[in-house]
Amino acid sequence: MKIASIASAIAVCLSILALPGRTAAQEPAAVAQEIITRQIEAFLNDDATSAYSFASPSIREKFPDEASFFEMVKRGYAPVYRPGNFGFGRSKVSGDVILQEVLISGSGGKHWTAIYQLMRQPDGSYKINGVHMTPSKGGSDI
């Protein structure tokens, strides 16, 4: 009886994994959102190592160590570093690039729209290649 229930549980797990739309390759927006969320969580936890791990090679060239990257984000991207709340808007996939809109409520009641650019790396992963922020006007064009 135990073997049958284990086999049944394995079959259920395999069928869930096989459902359409469950792989990173099929849902790049979901992958982008997970990466962005994990980086923001790293900022909130003052975890420079983890936050830096999501940066693309071109960002790492500009900021060759975790400390300089973390300071740049603190100074230039305060709403990303310490968001009040954030949520995801539209996304656009073009080849190896994902553009993901992130709506942020920052301190002082200000709202921001951040457009994240993520690029697929040679190993198939995505890394954050830049963020463009503007005061929110109720939407953005991606």
pLDDT band of 15, cuts 50, 70, 90 = very low
DSSP state of 55: B
Q: For residue 30, which of 42, 38, 19 has the smallest C-alpha distance?
A: 38
Rounded to the nearest angstrom, the gap between the alpha carbon of residue 33 and the centroid of all alpha carbons in its chain is 4
Of 1-5, 27-31, 39-43, 48-52, the range with the lowest mean pLDDT is: 1-5
Average pLDDT of span 40-61? 98
Q: Tell me whether residue 6 is in a domain.
A: no
- For 41-51, what is the mean pLDDT? 97
Record the pTM.
0.78
Is 123 within a domain?
yes
Q: Could you report the per-residue pLDDT of 72-122, keeping only the tens digit for each?
A: 999 999 999 999 899 999 999 999 999 999 999 987 789 999 999 999 999
**Domain span at 123:** 27-135
Query: In the chain, how many domains are there?
Result: 1
The DSSP secondary structure of 105-137, one letter per residue, reads: E-GGG-EEEEEEEEEE-TTS-EEEEEEEEEE-S
What does the radius of gyration of the chain's CA atoms come to, in whole angstroms? 18
